[in-house]
Amino acid sequence: MIEQFTSVVFLTGFLASMIRMATPIVIVALGEMVTERSGIMNLGIEGIVWIGAFAGFATTILTGSYIWGFLVGGIVGILFGLIMSVVAVEFHGHQIVAGLGIWILCNGLSGLLNRSIFGISTERPTIVATLPTIPIPGLSNIPIIGETLFNQNIIVYLTILAVPLINFFFKEISWGLNIDAVGEQPRAADAAGLRVGVIRTLSACFGGFLAGIGGAYLPLALYSIYTNDISTGLGWMAIVVLVFGKWRPWGILGGALIFGAANALKWRLQNTDLPLPYQITLMLPYLVTLVMVIFFVRGGSGPSALAKPFVRSEN
Amino acid sequence: MIERIQNLLHSDQMGKWVRPFFTQVLIVLLAFVLGGFVILGIGADPIAAYAALIKSAFGNVNSIAETLVKACPLLLAGLAITLAFRAEFWNIGAEGQLYMGGVLAAVVGIYFTGLPPAVHIPLALIAGVLGGAIAGFIPVILKAKLRVNEVITTLMLNYIIILFTSYLDQGPMSDPIIKAGISRRLLETSWIPIMIKGTRFHWGIPLALLITILIAFLLSKTMLGFQIRAVGENARAARVAGVSINKTIIWTMILSGALAGLAGGIEISGVQHRLIERFSPGYGFLAIAVALVGRLSPIGVIFSSVLFAALIAGADTMQRVAGVPIPVVYLIEGLVIIFASIRSIRIRSPFRRKVTA
Amino acid sequence: MANTTGVAVKMVNITKSFGSVLADDQVNFELLHGEIHGLLGENGAGKTTLMNILYGLHQPDSGEIIIQGEKKEISSPHKAVEEGIGMVHQHFMQIPTLTVIDNVILGLESLNSFKLNRARARERLVQISKIYGLQVDPDACIWQLSIGDRQRVEILKALYREVKILILDEPTSVLTPQETTELFHTIRKLVDAGLSVVFITHKLEEAMSITDRVTVLRDGKVVATRKTQDTNKAELACFMVGREVLFRLKREPYEDKQKYEVLRVENLTVKSDRGSLAVRDVTFNVQSGEIVGIAGVDGNGQTELVQALTGLRHVQGGSFWVDGVNLTNASPREILEHKVGHIPEEQNDALVANFTLIENLMLNRHYTDEFSKCGILDQGKMESRSRELIRQYDVKASSEKAIARTLSGGNKQKLIVAREIARDPRLLVAAHPTRGVDIGAEESIRNLLLEKRRQGGAILLVSTKLDEVLSLSDRILVMEKGRIVGEVTREEADIEKIGLLMAGTRTTT
């Protein structure tokens, strides 16, 4: 039984699957990072992942195109990012509560649309194939690493690229500086002539966009079907990873790999003949999340103005 | 006469109760109207849907009783959320705490034999209270001792406890004959008696009402309630004045978990009589909306729990008669919560004044 | 002063209200080229609001702004900078986590280029600091800098934007006397280079020593504009307050001659939020019937010292005793129960804005046997006691059931003082007890402290207002970089001496 876990085949499959599972967490967490560094906390991303997954799935079924699937998933995500920012920026609403509202709203909406578009028949439509992998010539032949890193789908490659890019954006590009300024000291940013509301709105929309893309990734690249429990807490894991990674892209990547491993292990374990009830293996990612928050994510210090509304004060 | 009405309109009572009441009614109406547009969007008739909803929730004595049977766990879980949110502890785990209460109540109901009802029923409910309190204690002790974010822990515990329940129902506690994610029947000595014959209206419902009044008293007239409010409104000021924040939130969450656990216990020993996989249709999540629409006031929660109970009670009929899928309930709930984030939660920020003015 | 012909800015009939509060009422203000114009007034007189309007942070309800003879609409700080107006706020408009360079270029670069060009910015910044003698490390993060350095960054920010008009809002309130002198040199240099400066202050000496002209505001109205050489302190004080400003303080001796030690602090060491040592090895005591003042520039460990003594912050090393009981690292409530009162430096840390006055007054005593039985509160007693306190301490409110946030700043502070003093503490720790309150409340709070002292209470007074420390204290300790660097008795204290101590080693280099 032990050899099941030590064989090269198992290890390669496990690592490749870990990367594939970590990818949507990285995408969603990077989006939430941009949102939070501008000062808005969007706890609704779990819901946005959900609706993004449905929108991406439905679009790809209807058009047969992956590109349209991801695009529509992202656009729907923008819509809900916008709702969050309107509540936060225009109405100075309570962001934790509003985020929960968006989560539950998206939950209902995707369930509703799923029922009314695809009906209740057990014959669920499926996407013929998940997003194809693109082996990188030469590199993909390296044992273990080749299969793990260089024989993946396009979204995985783009996500790996996005980490240094977003890092560069916040370090060297004026817009990145502006987002940080608005999230740390909105009053000072305002006095420096930055438009706090506009920057926060755009950041929340970008966060929604990535959450939608991350959602669309689930049916398009992983499962090829849509079910009403497709996300299994991806958005919440992204939030844990964000805090774990101290609001920095490389840290997020590291944290996401841990979750990727837990998720990959979850599926692998179910296909072995270990005498574990399936509920216990399903619990694995949640237990990992708990362990991570308990040991690594304590009282993390995010942006100073996180979740605080900004109003020009009276003096 | 007119003068008296005018006086009433400007009295303190007016400001404290009537205006907020209408605001909440408006929030709910707005959510239903928006929900109606979505229903239109999927090609169904919102008016027919809502008519079916109201009829099946309040149409006759039996349907009213059914609605109130569903309002009971919502009321208790809503109180659980109310207490936690008043202390600014973001307990999203009422669902898990409710399941935990249900599990322990079922254990007592199934395996404790030979007890008279007068002992067995209270014992099952106390087990429920205990289960919820334990589930509520874990995240709060992590928060108090290690500053672990409670939104994440309560949520993860939901997933874990629900999976654990499912494991019990398919494994150690499963009914040897049916076997489909369902436990054996609780012994009849642990069943909460029915109050109105021919319906499922049980004595747990008046008990929940009594508890609501106790919680209202707790919040406004006792030391702990005062401290809960102080910590929630301004934790730093409370701390400077010698109130222990940790002690306050720990007691708050023990109580909050206990209330949610009791909701689960009553549901199992008063309605289901078995531990069923997924026995709650999301009562613990709906409770967030219930608490917010009730403006985090125990008396307000009574009204909002009936409202949301009607929504669940009528959802089936709505789907059958008007072709509107059940998830519309969550859609409306989500909208209500989003609106409530704008109006009904008072945040500590001094900016707030300007916004509501 | 070089060239005082020609008007740089004219503000005509400016009116601005916030809700029901009229901040500025038909204000006329004129700034000439190359002058230093003092804007003098009490807290809440409308000085800052007027200048925030000129800087585009607020829009006036009515009135107009004329720059170089042209009517202008200043809709945002950005517009103000375009018109050549810069402002250094009392609370610096900086992002602590970013470097000096990033703070300077914030909001500028996005217009010119996409990628940040820090090298070019650094070059220009260094050049400007050389011209005006404003030395600052451009690559340091703001949070690492001293207050004086941070102020220089604010001025550099404005100069980097090539402003012609610079508004300084209470710039000396955070500086040592020596740093103030340095700032005044800088201001003169700026004027020599052709800038015009608006200098907001409530300190008469400063208005007299640095300005060319003074405009006095009171309750949102202009009382007078004078050439500084044609006026004097007494006249300005009269304009500012509308009555004589001298405090009528009743400083009577402690009747019981038997003095004993109430607070004893030995080798106390406390860390700041950032983990650095904020209080280093501090030893002192406070006796009954004595006020010990702690003077020092803000941020030299006073906050952490107060928090440690009240149980709000962990003590790393050393101990302290109240009436002989070791209370090191005791909980806030234990300390409170050993008869220690605490007026925190932030009003927000003392009052729950959405609570009634009753609830606020009872916050630190609701649990005592007097007001609760078996965990149930005695509402009647709480109400009647609150009513008494409100009357006795002259807190102006519609009723004891009013919500705390509806009170004025001065009355809120009186409410806090009432709550703490009425518990009859043996030791009262008062941190900035008169910060941000009007003169009337200031006078009555100071008298309440003196009365407490007369009755034998021990008071530890922390304040950055030197005049307050000097007028109330029996002994003065000076804190600098977490250490007590000097102790002077009331008799030997003078501003110059304390100022030198406050500045610490910085003046000796």
Consecutive sets of 10 residues in chain B, 357 residues long: mean pLDDT of each?
Answer: 58 63 86 91 88 90 94 97 94 95 96 93 96 97 90 90 92 82 90 91 96 96 95 93 94 97 96 91 90 91 94 87 86 90 50 32
How much is the mean pLDDT over chain C?
87
Of B142, B152, B329, the CB nearest to A236: B152
Cα separation values, C133 from A310, C85, C120, Å: 36, 21, 20
**Across A111-115, A145-149, B243-247, B252-256, least confident range:** A145-149
- Does the pLDDT of residue A222 top 70, yes or no? yes
What is the structure's pLDDT at B351? 36
* Strands (DSSP E) found in A102-147: 133-135
For residues A159 and B168, give the distance between their C-alpha atoms in angstroms, rounded to a whole number: 40
Q: Which chains touch A (3 or more CB pairs under 8 A)?
A: B, C
Q: Read off the DSSP letter of residue A132.
A: P
Look at the block and give the residue holding tokens 């809960």. B228
Of A173, A192, A315, the CB nearest to C107: A192
Look at the block and give the residue holding tokens 């004045």. B241
For residues C369 and C353, give the distance between their C-alpha atoms in angstroms, rounded to a whole number: 26
- Does the pLDDT of residue A5 top 70, yes or no? no
Distance of residue C94 Cα from the nearest chain A Cα, in angstroms: 5
Q: Among residues C34, C63, C8, which one has the least CA distance to residue C220?
A: C63
How far the first Cα of chain C sits from its last, in Å, is 32
Take residue C460 and report the two structure tokens written for it: 């530890």
Residue B166 carries which side chain, given as an amino acid letter?
Answer: S
- Does the pLDDT of residue C4 top 60, yes or no? no
User: 10 Å Cβ neighbour count for A165?
Assistant: 11
Q: How many CA atoms lie within 13 A of C233 on its CB side?
A: 9
Chain A residues touching C105 at Cβ < 8 A = 174, 177
Instruction: Note whether C186 and C215 are within 8 A (CB).
Output: no
Look at the block and give the residue holding tokens 């009425």. C422
Of A43, A111, A280, the CB nearest to B167: A280
Q: Among residues C327, C396, C397, C389, which one has the least CA distance to residue C363?
A: C389
Q: Where are the domains of chain B?
A: 73-314
The whole-model pTM stands at 0.85
Q: How confident is the model at residue A139 (pLDDT cuts 50, 70, 90)?
A: confident
Query: In sequence order, what are the residues at sequence separation of 6 or more whose Cβ sits closer than 8 angstroms to the Cβ of residue B30?
Result: B335, B339
User: 10 Å Cβ neighbour count for C72?
Assistant: 18
Instruction: Note whether B290 and B81 are within 8 A (CB).
Output: yes
Take residue B258 and report the two structure tokens written for it: 């206990």
For residues B20 and C90, give the distance between their C-alpha atoms in angstroms, rounded to a whole number: 39
Mean pLDDT of C93-115: 80
Q: Among residues C322, C338, C309, which one has the least CA distance to residue C263?
A: C322
Q: Which ipTM value was assigned to this complex?
A: 0.88
Query: In sequence order, what are the residues at sequence separation of 6 or more whose Cβ sits closer than 8 angstroms to the Cβ of residue B49?
Result: B36, B39, B318, B321, B322, B324, B328
Instruction: Note whether B170 and B182 are within 8 A (CB).
Output: no
Contact state of B351 with A313 under an 8 Å Cβ cutoff:
yes
For residues A71 and A79, give the distance between their C-alpha atoms in angstroms, rounded to a whole number: 13
Alpha-helical segments (H) within C232-353: 233-241, 302-309, 332-337
Q: How many residues does chain C have?
A: 509
For residues C363 and B223, give the distance between their C-alpha atoms in angstroms, rounded to a whole number: 10
Instruction: Note whether B289 and B85 are within 8 A (CB).
Output: no
Chain A residues touching B292 at Cβ < 8 A = 97
Interface test with C, best of B217, B229, B234 (most C CBs within 10 A): B234
Report the run of H or E that residue C427 belongs to, with start and end. strand C427-431
- A233 interfaces chain B, CB cutoff of 8 Å: yes
User: 10 Å Cβ neighbour count for C264?
Assistant: 17
The DSSP bridge partners found for residue C477 are C294, C487
Alpha-helical segments (H) within C164-312: 177-192, 204-210, 233-241, 302-309
Instruction: Note whether B280 and B267 are within 8 A (CB).
Output: yes
The DSSP bridge partners found for residue C428 are C341, C459
Query: In sequence order, what are the residues at sequence separation of 6 or more whose Cβ sits closer than 8 angstroms to the Cβ of residue B227?
Result: B238, B243, B248
Residue scoring higher pLDDT (C209 or B6): C209
Q: How many CA atoms lie within 13 A of B13 on its CB side?
A: 5
Of C349, C354, C359, the CB nearest to B240: C349
Contact state of B230 with C363 under an 8 Å Cβ cutoff:
yes
Residue B328 carries which side chain, given as an amino acid letter?
Answer: V
- C76 interfaces chain A, CB cutoff of 8 Å: yes
Note the pLDDT tens digit of each residue in C286-308: 999 999 999 887 778 999 999 99
- With CA atoms as reference, the chain C residue closest to A172 would be C116
How much is the mean pLDDT over chain A?
86
Chain B residues touching A270 at Cβ < 8 A = none
What is the structure's pLDDT at B343? 53
What is the structure's pLDDT at A120? 65
* Strands (DSSP E) found in C308-386: 315-322, 325-326, 340-343, 372-373, 376-377
What is the structure's pLDDT at C2? 41
- C234 interfaces chain A, CB cutoff of 8 Å: no
Q: How many residues does chain B have?
A: 357
What is the structure's pLDDT at C389? 93
Note the pLDDT tens digit of each residue in C39-81: 988 777 888 899 999 999 889 999 999 998 889 899 888 889 8
Instruction: Note whether A190 and A312 are within 8 A (CB).
Output: yes
For residues C85 and C91, give the distance between their C-alpha atoms in angstroms, rounded to a whole number: 18
Residue scoring higher pLDDT (C253 or A102): A102
**Across A74-78, B18-22, C355-359, C384-388, least confident range:** B18-22
Instruction: Note whether B253 and B136 are within 8 A (CB).
Output: yes
- Does the pLDDT of residue C1 top 60, yes or no? no
Percent of chain C at pLDDT > 70 equals 94
Cα separation values, A300 from A31, A304, B208, Å: 18, 11, 39
Q: For every residue of B191-256, which 3-state class applies, written as one string?
A: CCCECCCCCCCECHHHHHHHHHHHHHHHHHHEHHHHHHHHHHHCHHHHHHCCCCHHHHHHHHHHHH
Interface test with A, best of C110, C156, C161, C274 (most A CBs within 10 A): C110
What is the structure's pLDDT at B2? 60
Mean pLDDT of C417-435: 92
Mean pLDDT of C22-43: 89
Q: Among residues C150, C461, C133, C158, which one has the least CA distance to residue C291?
A: C461
**Across A33-42, B189-198, C144-153, least confident range:** C144-153
Cα separation values, C203 from C196, C211, C214, C258, Å: 20, 12, 12, 39
